[in-house]
Homo-oligomer: A and B are copies of this chain.
């Protein structure tokens, strides 16, 4: 007998896959640092100066575990959203919260629904738990709530995922459409409504909170508009009974003390959030302009990125992306046709956008001189 651990059947069957390759991995492969980091929808505008101060001030306290109940931050979030602290659970970003949610619901073989081409980390967690993932196509460049609900009903899904605004396309639905989706949801089906980008969306994209409904979990993060991706903190909003289920299995000390402190400071700096929104709006316009000047079609965006139709197929867009990467611009692109006719570029400041513009122009000139079909 050889020495070998016995992994579960689900784990043993998993491929060695990674939802996203990090920019650092690409940098190590090329031996060169990126000139502009526009691939992960991070906020190049950074966290608020007050948050940076709060982090520095909290350094000497890093020896203490964070409050496992996250009391102060949850109380502040409850006030912010006019909810109760019992409606909120903290987690290590939306990725961490999705992981816990999937573990709550998904046993091997359970049907789960998402969109083909939607956020891959959700599908990654479902696979890790042996779920049977049914995907539905986008309707144009937006996720299709009707099709998602129909697939949930057809498969008897325990959980359906949608992001509003959407990543990677940047599109969004109105609160009315989302409300309609919730109303049409099967009675025994949970909805994971990923609102990572909601702070950057136009008013009217978020339906009212209905914390009497145990089926709807709203996912929020400090990683995007608040610029705290590197500290791992997000939260979920739901009915108290739903939120309490997280307490059964979550890593109670998993949300760090500094993360909680920084998030609280970020929540309080309303002015900074306004400034970031203004920067993002300006940057979206700038990126859209750059796209158009280069013959690409920018899609409307409710996020801190602009998805650009390169006007060809996936092969062409992949060549554009490769050209950008080779020129020191970290960007990404959707994974499935026909979404993969696009590249996705995070909002940079003036400097990053200028670097992107030059690299794009250069890339397209090169591609015109070579045979890419």
Contact = CB atoms under 8 A, between A and B. Distances in A.
Enumerate the 5 nearest inter-chain pairs by beta-carbon distance, A residue then B residue, closest first: A230-B257, A56-B56, A63-B227, A55-B59, A24-B67
A259 to B, nearest CB: 7
Interface stretch (A46-54, A195-203, A290-298, A315-323): A46-54
Nearest to A255: B232
A55 B62 contact: yes
B40 A51 contact: no
A256 B256 contact: yes
B258 A68 contact: no
Contacts of A231: 62, 256-258
B64 A42 contact: yes
A27 B62 CA distance: 19
B71 A6 contact: no
Given A3-B187, A3-B188, A8-B103, 13 more contacts: A8-B104, A16-B247, A24-B67, A24-B68, A42-B64, A46-B63, A62-B228, A63-B230, A65-B229, A95-B253, A232-B253, A232-B254, A258-B258
A251 interface: yes
B62 A242 contact: no
Interface string A342-358: 00000000000000000
Contact of A228 (B28, B63, B92, B255): B63
Given A128-B103, A187-B1, A252 B63 contact: no
A96 B19 CA distance: 19
A245 interface: yes
Q: Which of A22, A62, A188, A231 counts the most B-chain CB atoms under 10 A from its CB?
A: A62
Contacts of A9: 107
A245 B44 contact: no
A62 B229 contact: yes
A149 B190 CA distance: 42
A14 interface: yes
Contacts of A253: 20, 22, 93, 95, 229, 232
A106 interface: yes
A213 interface: yes
A4 interface: yes
A254 B102 CA distance: 16
A206 interface: no
Q: Which of A6, A190, A230 has the most CB of B within 10 A?
A: A230
A273 to B, nearest CB: 14
A350 B90 CA distance: 36
A43 B63 contact: yes
A63 B47 contact: yes
A37 interface: yes
Nearest to A14: B248
